[in-house]
Structure 1
Amino acid sequence: MTGTSGAAQGRTAARRKRVPRQVREQQIIDVAVRVFAKRGYHAASVDEIAELAGISKPMVYLYLESKEGLFLACLRREADRLVVAFQEAARGAGAAPELRLYAGLSAFFAFVAEHRDSWVVLHRQASELTETIAGAVAEARRAVMAEVAGLVRDGISDSGQGGRLGAEDADFVAHALVGAADSLTDWMERNPGQGSDGMALRLMNMVWVGMRDVLDGGAWLPEA
């Protein structure tokens, strides 16, 4: 009787310890982001990730199929988080396009500062890997670019310059802003006292002030 009771208790305890697949997958990704950021894609070990996640190596493959699949899951989740952080900050900043852009850029720099492992995976490692991974990076970048370009188009429209400046100009400015923000994350790491708001303010003053002059009809041309 005691043995039967003990077996039943063991089965009950096992059921309690079962974690829903979605939760377990996120736990694996949490660990994998840290390991990939620390060791790099090639040196990272699925064995280490499994051990730190408290599961077996076959279980990692069951959930995410391969090391590349695991890295892609990390990349896509963190890219989605970054895009959502930008979107939510921009949408909560009022009607003026420049205020929404400033808020979005500040959220971008805050994400990089607060989720350094995520940014290492997104920014420093992914572009050097397989074509599939590079494609996922490009997709994430396009999502951020679309948000920025939309805000720039709104700025052009609000200025009344929609007849003189168009989608190509907005796309150009979006690429300049996103490229600058990407490269400035390394500068921010070397100058930690700046803060995300300070970084966004500096970038706005470098780019948006010039953009405002263009919207007012100004242009620079080299002397003949």
Structure 2
Amino acid sequence: MMDAAVRIFGQRGYRAASMDDIAELAGVSKPLVYLYLNSKEELFGACIRREAAALVDAVRDGVSAAGGDSADRQLWAGLRAFFGHTAERPDGWAVLHGQARTQGEPFAAEVAAMRAEVVAFVTSLVVAAAREAHGDPSLPEREVAGLAQALVGAAESMADWAGADASVSAREAAATLMNFAWVGLGGMLEGRGWVSA
């Protein structure tokens, strides 16, 4: 039922989605949908929470797989996981990034909480890299916190871009963002790029 709801909400939008359509796609009766969740609002909130948790888990798992690698390798793994997840679950991404933010409270607050968790996680990676690069283990987190915000915002925009162009792979999207974030625009214009392998 949740898969059907995410698909309907993601493809049609919250306002145009109907409980009848969700029940039909799920192969259950409409009363059964209402038995589990009392309203369309509750169902949409449950979809947001499920998709947010899956996205955060995917990013964390990607970074964990990089283990004790350097911060740039961990970030690379996290970005690949993020773009891979949004490509594999476009309806879930549409619910989180396209629908929930525009439907007001409490939906926007749920997405904001998920985003804050991702930003905090990315901040920890960027702080570790900056401290390593500067040779200063006491470098304040505040010095790089804005970079994490910018990186997450760029990743969100690029997920929309990659979702609209099926020829863009998760790896390509991650490499583009790594080049922009890690090497910087100046380095890219000079032909220097971040090397993934």
* Deviation of the 1:162 alpha carbon: 4.0
Within the alignment, does 1:136 sit opposite 2:105 as a pair? Answer: no
Determine the C-alpha separation between the residues in 1 that align with 2:30 and 2:164: 37
- Structure 2 gap ranges (5+): 188-197
What displacement does 1:189 show? 3.0
Corresponding letter in the other structure for 2:98:
R
1:151 to partner: Cα distance = 0.7
1:124 to 84, 98, 120: 98
Distance of aligned partners of 1:90 and 1:77 in 2 relative to their CA distance in 1, 3 Å threshold: same
What residue number does 1:41 align with?
14
1:183 aligns to 2:157 (yes or no): yes
Correspondence list, 1:22-61, <5 A: 28-61=1-34
RMSD: 1.8
Instruction: Supply the AA of the counterpart residue of 1:161.
Output: D
Task: Give the match's secondary structure for 1:113.
Answer: helix
The sequence identity of aligned pairs, in percent, is: 47
TM-score of the aligned structures, taking structure 2 as reference length: 0.87
In structure 2, the CA distance between the partners of 1:190 and 1:34, relative to structure 1 (3 Å rule), is closer
| Partner amino acid, structure 2, of 1:187 | W
How many aligned positions are there? 184
Q: Does 1:161 align with 2:151?
A: no
Greater Rg, structure 1 or structure 2? 1
Map 1:192-211 → 2, pairs under 5 A: 192-210=166-184
2:20 partner letter: D
Whether 1:65 aligns to 2:38 is yes
